[in-house]
Amino acid sequence: MDDGTLRFDPEDTLEEWITPTPLSDPVFTAIFQNAEVSGLAMRSFLNAVLGDSGDAPVSEVISVTPQSVHSETSSRGFRIDVEAKSINGEIAMVEVQLKPFSATIERGLLYSEQALASGAKRGEKLEDVTSAMPKVIVVTILDKALRKTGGFHQVVELLYREPPYERATDKLAMHNLELDKYRKMGIDKPNSPLQCWLTAICRS
């Protein structure tokens, strides 16, 4: 019977039991609770991710809004919706998942579709809708790898299947950061902005 009493798991250390990790919901959402508190930090994090993949940086973070996410009945996660400013206008969604779950990529597509179509109005011409469409960046921080192969930074885009392999559109990019792969690299001295961010998250 559950009497509401907190119970200590002997497999955890006392420090792990008392101190929440940086990826826990209350800690991450407190750090990135709004643009006034976390605008510079969020811009630094996003540009570390984009710089690692050779993509153009964002110049300003306009809004930061934490969102609770119930991905499946047995798991719970959270994401942070970010509106960032650049030459083309961009919308970024940063999501944290401590456990991989089914249809991660597909759910990212659903969130992206909502953001891509957010400015569309009934009766508008297609060319007007597409010209005003923002670029959507989805960054997912995964404690466990979603993909067995490849490095810790996995980039998903819409590409032509036939060579030459090139982007079909630059309106959508999904970045999966797989922390268990990063930890296994054993990097003691990070030498890039993204490695600095991930090292701080893993060690804190």
Q: What is the pLDDT of residue 89?
A: 64
Mean pLDDT of all residues in 143-168: 92
Q: Please give the residue range of the domain that contains residue 154.
A: 14-203
Count Cβ atoms below 10 Å from residue 72 Cβ, excluding itself: 11
Q: Are 153 and 177 in contact (CB under 8 A)?
A: yes
* 33-75 tens-digit pLDDT: 777 878 888 889 999 999 999 998 888 888 887 775 554 444 4
Asked, for residue 168, whether it belongs to a domain, the answer is yes
Does some domain include residue 3?
A: no
Residue 78 lies in a domain: yes
Assess if residue 80 is contained within a domain. yes
* DSSP letter string, 148-203: SSS-SEEEE--B-SSSS--BS-SSEEEEEEEHHHHHHT--SS--SHHHHHHHHHHH
**36 occurs within a structural domain:** yes
Let me know if residue 30 belongs to a domain: yes
pLDDT tens digit sequence for 100-139: 666 778 878 887 887 777 777 778 888 877 777 778 888 8
Domain assignment present for residue 8? The answer is: no
Please count the structural domains in the chain. Answer: 1
Distances (CA, A) of 188 to 142, 182, 183: 21, 11, 10
The answer to pTM > 0.85 is no
